[in-house]
Structure 1
Amino acid sequence: MVYFSVDTEVTIQQRLPIIGSVLINRYPYMTIRLAIVMDDITAINVKKDSTLAMFAAAQQKGWELFYIQQPDLYLEQGLAKAIAQPITNISYNADDYCQLGEPSKITLSELDVVLMRKDPPFDNEYIYSTYILEAAEREGTLIVNRPSSLRDCNEKIFATQFPQCCPPVLVSRNNDLLKAFYLEHRDVIFKPLDGMGGTAIFRVKAGDPNLSVILETLTQYGSQSIMAQRFIPEITQGDKRILMVDGKPVDYALARVPAEGETRGNLAAGGSGVPQPLTERDRWICQQVAPTLREKGLLFVGLDVIGDYLTEINVTSPTCIRELDDAYNLDIAGQLMQSIEQQLKNN
């Protein structure tokens, strides 16, 4: 369970949780104030949660930390504010993984950095949150990732900016165009543009009698655009998640291998994670997208690669930190905090 406490007098000095072999929260003086906007922290999977790893890495550096939920962001007289809770004593102990202090109102410009880690759906409320975070950005707070890019870079469509990396792909709500794409490629993936975790993804093979009803359902009878991609057989070897920190790839990917009888490799859809080194093709794809990521202020991003093809670029709340850390004794969240620290120095 999570303990809610404001007893910070003793927690920093007397209670020193261990993550792996690393002693965290060792510094009594915190020089950077960081907040993370995320979903309910009491409902996370402690063994796998990437945002918890970010909190732990920031705590390792001795930073002052705050937890914010999306509904607690607000604008008042043009100032970006939030109801925030101090968070301390972060560990990977499932029964006692953090302590939350009393909530209080803060102005986001009082913080050095805010990480936006709210999971999709990417709905109007998400967009409104980016407006609030953008107001804080104008006041000098570093927002990771940049709010305007969170709005602009749809995780499916963004990948199409790099056609040299992608399989044949179509974005449309016109059923005639979608059917023509299907007839050309004969084995196609159809998916919504705002989904996550493998939800509502359909594979349609040649001669499938359900084509029309699938398109009607996904496009809501032509009122909503979707994506069509040529099916990539190499999905059987996994849908690789490649993490990028300030345009630089982590040297290893987590291949999410579909369960037997499944097309989707997403862990949420029953896939299993297989850590593996990046291939030369993986690194080439990373090189193709890196300059654009830096230009758009996308400091932490997850590329999805199947076989030789880039299929998505995840900018909202990429995961798989913990799995790769555990497999290769990495500290990916620590790399991210170093990049954030450098960004703050540069600004």
Structure 2
Amino acid sequence: MKICYVVSNIKSERCGTTLVLMKKAHERGHTVYVMNVGGFNFMQGSPICICCKMVPENFDYESEEDFLAKMKTDAIPWKMLDSAELDVMFLRNNPTEETIDRHWAERSGLAFARLVQQQGVLVLNDANSMSHSFIDKLYFEELPELIKPDSLITRDKTAIIDFWEKSGKKIVLKPLEGSGGKNIYLIDEHRSNFNQIIKTLTEKGYIIAQKFLPEVSEGDVRVLVMNGKILEKDGVPAIMRRVNKDESEFRSNVSLGGKTVKAELTPSMERIVALTAPKLIRDGFFFVGLDIVKDKLIEINVMSPGGLYYGGKLGLPEFGDTVIEAIERKVEYKALHKDNFSNKMLATMD
């Protein structure tokens, strides 16, 4: 199959899940392309053209890190490709990580991917659903209350104070549109720098306040979900615990110095996935990351979930094979059944 991975910018791409999946697809004999979110080209009456790099058929590399480094060089040229030639387009850019000077990049990838999807190319995750869940923290609020901590979304300072008091005077504040643990604050009984924090966050947009979960001191568990089920290989689930770098830091994001360790799958995690899965399947979300603290889901990542790269460093199975095998089946189903299945249905078809 011909598969193209969309990233924010190949030059700034780091070793992560996208790299793992690109490498696995190439190893399995597929034609693999990578493109920047700014590489779409539209001409009326013609299919979308994409500016991309193709992984050479006989690509010589020593490691995942070397694979990425060589893909970034000018030795592998950019080329224009008719997107209709693709079997799959895998959206792996994260709009919430774009900087102010790249505001154009936040929604353009999804908008163009919807057009590519209309041409008959399988887009993962479903581009229409991704557009609906662009603010993933709002999409998160559509999930059952039973599995989520108490929360409030507002730009009103008074409402936040009321919520803080009702929540035992200990809450977490973060921007509604954000990722990577940036601009997340713990507000306790002292309310240190409260006014400045509110000012900073409201300048960025809406604020989401969540009741503080004491168990977060032990870190959170990233659970990777594929086709509405916990991703696994040889009976081993794709889960890992992200541990805070020290006792003074309640955030466990790897980008902030947190580290990943092996985790045990619990009945609470399985129940959260079971209650989340029907919506993910209905909405065409093939590959999703759930962040869980004890028996509560604290965040959902539908845009560009990660974890495979760090899982590999922990000695977990090579889940990348399982993911690519699932995509191969979808391409086969699409070829055999022609247009009988929508993109959304194919996206989560096992």
Q: Tell me the amino acid that sits aligned with residue 313 of structure 1.
A: I
The answer (yes or no) to whether the contact 1:275–1:323 under 8 Å persists in 2 is: no
Over residues 178-229 of structure 1, what are the superposed CA-to-partner deviations in whole Å (9 max), with x where a residue is unaligned? 2211111110000002211100000000131422221122112xx8211000
Q: TM-score, normalised by structure 1?
A: 0.84
The answer (yes or no) to whether the contact 1:120–1:195 under 8 Å persists in 2 is: no
- Name 2:332's counterpart in structure 1: 345
How far apart, CA to CA, are the structure 2 residues paired with 1:91 and 1:226?
Answer: 45
How far apart, CA to CA, are the structure 1 residues paired with 2:261 and 2:249?
Answer: 16
How far apart, CA to CA, are the structure 1 residues paired with 2:329 and 2:64?
Answer: 30
Structure 2 residue matching 1:277: 3-state secondary structure: coil
- Name 2:110's counterpart in structure 1: 130
How far apart, CA to CA, are the structure 2 residues paired with 1:92 and 1:297?
Answer: 33
The answer (yes or no) to whether the contact 1:73–1:82 under 8 Å persists in 2 is: yes
**Given the superposition, is the C-alpha separation of residues 216 and 321 from structure 1 closer, same or farther in structure 2, using an over 3 Å criterion?**
same
How far 1:346 moved relative to its partner?
2.3
1:277 equivalent in alignment to 2:264: yes
Aligned length: 312
- Name 2:20's counterpart in structure 1: 53
Question: Which of 53, 58, 65 is equivalent to 1:94?
Answer: 65
- Name 2:149's counterpart in structure 1: 167
How far apart, CA to CA, are the structure 1 residues paired with 2:312 and 2:65?
Answer: 18
Correspondence list, 1:58-207, <5 A: 58-77=25-44, 79-88=47-56, 89=59, 92=63, 94-95=65-66, 97=68, 98-99=70-71, 101-121=76-96, 123-153=103-133, 154-162=135-143, 163-185=145-167, 186-207=169-190
Correspondence list, 1:211-222, <5 A: 211-220=194-203
Structure 2 residue matching 1:77: 3-state secondary structure: coil
**Given the superposition, is the C-alpha separation of residues 69 and 91 from structure 1 closer, same or farther in structure 2, using an over 3 Å criterion?**
farther
Question: Which of 235, 249, 266 is equivalent to 2:230?
Answer: 249
How far apart, CA to CA, are the structure 2 residues paired with 1:85 and 1:248?
Answer: 32
How far apart, CA to CA, are the structure 2 residues paired with 1:272 and 1:327?
Answer: 11
Q: TM-score, normalised by structure 2?
A: 0.84
- Name 1:4's counterpart in structure 2: none
How far apart, CA to CA, are the structure 2 residues paired with 1:102 and 1:60?
Answer: 20
1:299 equivalent in alignment to 2:286: yes
**Given the superposition, is the C-alpha separation of residues 75 and 150 from structure 1 closer, same or farther in structure 2, using an over 3 Å criterion?**
same
- Name 1:13's counterpart in structure 2: none
How far apart, CA to CA, are the structure 2 residues paired with 1:72 and 1:323?
Answer: 28
The answer (yes or no) to whether the contact 1:158–1:312 under 8 Å persists in 2 is: no
Q: Tell me the amino acid that sits aligned with residue 81 of structure 1.
A: C
The answer (yes or no) to whether the contact 2:20–2:320 under 8 Å persists in 1 is: yes
Structure 1 residue matching 2:105: 3-state secondary structure: helix
- Name 1:33's counterpart in structure 2: 2
The answer (yes or no) to whether the contact 2:10–2:35 under 8 Å persists in 1 is: no
% identical equivalent positions: 25
Structure 1's unaligned 5+ residue stretches are: 1-31
Structure 2 residue matching 1:242: 3-state secondary structure: strand
Q: Tell me the amino acid that sits aligned with residue 179 of structure 2.
A: M
The answer (yes or no) to whether the contact 2:228–2:281 under 8 Å persists in 1 is: yes
Deviates more, 1:326-335 or 1:257-266: 326-335
Aligned-pair Cα RMSD in Å: 1.9
1:239 equivalent in alignment to 2:220: yes
How far apart, CA to CA, are the structure 1 residues paired with 2:118 and 2:36?
Answer: 21
How far apart, CA to CA, are the structure 1 residues paired with 2:24 and 2:160?
Answer: 45
Question: Which of 277, 297, 306 is equivalent to 1:290?
Answer: 277
How far 1:337 moved relative to its partner?
1.1
The answer (yes or no) to whether the contact 2:219–2:241 under 8 Å persists in 1 is: yes
Q: Tell me the amino acid that sits aligned with residue 114 of structure 2.
A: E
